Amino acid sequence: MAKEELTLNQIAKEIYDGAGGMENVQNIVHCMTRVRMSVRDDSKVDQAKLKSIPGVLGVVDDEQLQVIIGPGKVNKVAKEMVDIAGVGLGEDLPQGSGKDKVNAKAAEMKAAQKAKQKNSPFKAVLKDISNIFVPMIPAFVGSGLVAGIAAILTNLVTAGTIDAANWQQIIDVMNILKNGMFSYLVIFTGVNAAQVFGANPTLGGVIGAVVLLTGMNPEAPIKNLFTGDALAAGQGGIIGVIFAVWLLSIVEKKLHEVIPDAVDIIITPMLSLLVIGLLEIFLIMPLAGFISNSMVSGINWVLAVGGAFSGFVLGALFLPMVMFGLHQILTPIHIQMIGETGKTLLLPILAMAGAGQVGAAFALWMKLRKDKELTEMIKGALPVGILGIGEPLIYGVTLPLGRPFITACIGGGIGGAVIGAIGGVGAIAIGPSGAALIPLIANGRWWGYVLGLLAAYVGGFVATYFFGIPKDKLAEQELAEATVVESNDVVETADTTVAAHATSSFTAVANGSVHPLEEASDPVFAEKMMGEGYFVEPTDGAIFAPVAGKVSTIFPTKHAIGITTASGLEVLLHMGINTVELSGKPFEILVSEGQKVTPETQVAAVDLAAIKEAGKGTSMMVLITNMNDVETHVLEKTGVVNASEEVFKATTI
């Protein structure tokens, strides 16, 4: 009874089951005919079950567990197996399932990247800043989108498109909701900073509220000790608040150590507020205001003077900043720019870095579409990437591949250059990026931001498509495309229609001695699991084609060549026993895929001494792998022969 035909995925899962489960398989590779697995516990392997799998021709349990599938199909089964596990060929399988590959790979790369970075006080500060603002991101997004809708409605009222009498109150309500976040941002920053630095959160909120100067008499304002000018509410902004709360944490801890427990709850908060509050009003606010104003002015100057050039530099460098965690330092700058000018001109340019990644990911998807593992990662990471969440694409796709990370940066630079050239494209809130930032673009200049996004998408795509695809990935893609149309579990080319009752003559592939397959040292060949044929024990390394036909396949490790005859027979020349493990070193291939050959064509030069030194066999196996199309075959000669001497014949059905 014929075995039921299974899909590649089903065969892969059945092999895992027979090998004792995925957790029992350490790694997977394949040669021209066999899936080769290193297993963790040989006692869990069920050879009988493996042999019963439809599509499996045989099993050999040697140093590796070898499941014979046959040429053309074995690479697809092996690829399906590693795709299920979420690893590459030759990589160790995780102790579990292959789910969540994108997040797992992203986490792995991110952890590896962080491990390479040296700890420093500066990076510790960046981490603290991140911890302060990350909990506020949802509020930034919600309030920012509400503000964006209010801004759109305000623009429509101004343009006369909608009636102010009907819409103004709605706009006012939205502005109230928006101001609940942004008007009291310094308080939220103080609370979060206190939690990060280990101070009392409520005291932190009070220190944040100090910069609002709510108790100051406007007719007799407090003077700036350095300039003599009146202090302005909010001067120094969140930068000053963060520094003040850091000082608060130090003072509060010291006071807890020295103040008696009986009065600690009264004296410590009072003294903390007095000391830090006075420092904040008379020293920190003026200094922080000077620093933040200088940073905002400097960035605005760069943008105003540099235009497209500055936009390109900022857009191109932002991904490396994200990779090293340096981007967090920009958050207070964005907020300060919004507070002083109503918008941040920096955020839309920096958002182009994520758009460049999206373009690069699309190029990888298109160029390497046969790489199922990579395309699955891209499909999982693209939606959030388009919405501005770039970590899955950075750590799961572009950074592990190397080149695409660079070309994604170039795409971000191109988008930044477009926005820089247009000028005046600012965001009224932070939090969203990518397409989600469009509603938050100020003054109706969303079109400029959209043009920048499109330019970054296209720039990242073009740069990656032509210059960013890794060479090894290209080679894998070309190998996948070079074979073949699958039909009835046999790989065929355009000219593999089997001619009826056609006889093909086979020859010795080298000087030496011809032997029947039964004498082969490898049971896969000796038991004719792969088909009928013969082998030659060579006396020199000049190897010739065994039959006239066309080269259909050259295995990457150079140890095997597939030839298709004019009558449709598929012939495998397998050079040596277990020589796949030598990674092609003893073999020099002298033909190319698609080339027509005859028994007089030398197809390879083989270093027999190197094969023997590696402990491998030198038998040159010649097999017909589509025996279903063969009616008769006969080995006409054994013993000593010369290369290209006729030794075997086969006739098709």
In whole angstroms, give the CA distance from residue 439 to residue 423: 18
The residues, ordered by sequence, that sit 6+ positions from 268 with a Cβ below 8 Å of its Cβ are 252, 255, 256, 259
For the whole prediction, is pTM greater than 0.85?
no
Residues paired with residue 564 on neighbouring β-strands, in sequence order: 550, 570
Which entry of 15, 22, 31, 345 is annotated as an active-site residue?
31
Which residue numbers in the chain have pLDDT < 50? 1-2, 96-102, 109-110, 113, 117, 325, 482-496
In which residue ranges of the chain is CATH 2.70.70.10 found? 492-652
- pLDDT computed for residue 553 by the predictor: 87
Compute how many other C-beta atoms are within 10 angstroms of the C-beta atom of residue 301.
Answer: 11
b (16+ CB within 10 A) / e for 250-289: ebbeebeeeeeeeeeeeebbeebbeebbebbbeebbbebb
Residue 610 region, left (φ>0) first, then alpha (ψ -120 to 50), else beta? alpha
- pLDDT computed for residue 199 by the predictor: 92
Q: Give Cα 161 to chain centroid, integer Å.
A: 46
- pLDDT computed for residue 487 by the predictor: 33
- Residue 31 falls in the annotated catalytic set: yes
In which residue ranges of the chain is CATH 3.30.1360.60 found? 8-92
Q: Give Cα 331 to chain centroid, integer Å.
A: 26
CATH 2.70.70.10 fits 492-652, yes or no: yes
- CA-CA-CA-CA torsion sign (409, 415, 421, 424): negative
In whole angstroms, give the CA distance from residue 78 to residue 85: 11
Which tokens sit at 259? 């103040």
Q: What phi and psi values does residue 135 have, to the nearest 5 degrees?
A: -60, -20
In whole angstroms, give the CA distance from residue 148 to residue 144: 6
- DSSP 3-state of 250: helix
In whole angstroms, give the CA distance from residue 643 to residue 238: 84
Compute how many other C-beta atoms are within 10 angstroms of the C-beta atom of residue 227.
Answer: 11
Region 8-92: CATH code? 3.30.1360.60
Residues 124 and 409: beta-carbon distance below 8 Å: no
